[in-house]
Structure 1
């Protein structure tokens, strides 16, 4: 599947795109060394993430990427599906729902698909408050790894 993105000239253009598929990000991989670095940063050294030998006999057959690491990739990949040409800034506003559907193993390629689920103008035309569903899936088989309903704002 070829990466694709929606380009909107300015934030108010999002108001007309509610329900639209925004695009698909480029494939990405997370290496075991990145998983190890994430474990060091967060203090989450659970063996299913960092002990490659023990994880071979564990429930997933190998180490797996932390769910929150996968979630941390969502803004990056989402940014590859939507571009606002003229905006003073965009901010992450929060999350409404996140699910970790299936494990992601190090060195597996993933991509994100995004759909705009809501958009409303901010007071005084300051910008747009919007939400999107971002589905992170394995490239190899299309299996969903993570689905996140993200909330963001773009300012004029």
Structure 2
């Protein structure tokens, strides 16, 4: 399976969800690197029934617009759930849930074999009855590329 590695910063730890409000605007940190191999892409294609040739046919993709197979945009987005807990940890919450995303973009293709990492920035945080809702932008960097593979403005709810 794909390699995970690198020397990420340790997750930014908040002792209580309410501490997020004072940290708005701050970069939270970065995850470890994760290599996206063809096996991961093929398994995602199987799970989503999206077997478009640009993802799964190496011979045809080599002659296509990207010169190789590329990961599905939604695979890259799904990896945000792998990166986010490496970037930030909220102690003192009894539960944290994915509430959705405000905006998602895929600025650059993620070619098979690419190494990715997530970098998080806290955009906004607001208290609600029973917890705190946080908007965290996760930028999925592609090692050696100038543009990211994904930028997702995630929304998480942390319940007290």
What TM-score range do you get, normalising by the shorter chain?
Answer: over 0.9
User: Considering only aligned residues, what root-mean-square deviation do their CA atoms show, in Å?
Assistant: 1.2
3-state SS of paired residue (2:138): strand
1:29 counterpart = 2:29: no
Q: Which runs of 5+ in 2 are unaligned?
A: 1-5
CA drift of 1:2 comes to 4.2
Residue 132 of structure 1 corresponds to 136
Instruction: Write the mapping of 1:6-45 to structure 2, written as runs, cut at 5 A.
Output: 6-45=12-51
What is the TM-score when the length of structure 1 is the normalising length? 0.94
1:111 counterpart = 2:117: yes
User: Structure 1 residue runs of 4+, over 2 Å off?
Assistant: 140-143
CA drift of 1:86 comes to 1.9
Residue 155 of structure 1 corresponds to 159
1:99 counterpart = 2:105: yes
1:3 counterpart = 2:8: yes
The count of corresponding residues between Structure 1 and Structure 2 is 154
What is the TM-score when the length of structure 2 is the normalising length? 0.92
Q: Which runs of 5+ in 1 are unaligned?
A: none
Choose which of 147, 155, 158 in structure 2 pairs with 1:143.
Answer: 147
Residue 82 of structure 2 corresponds to 76
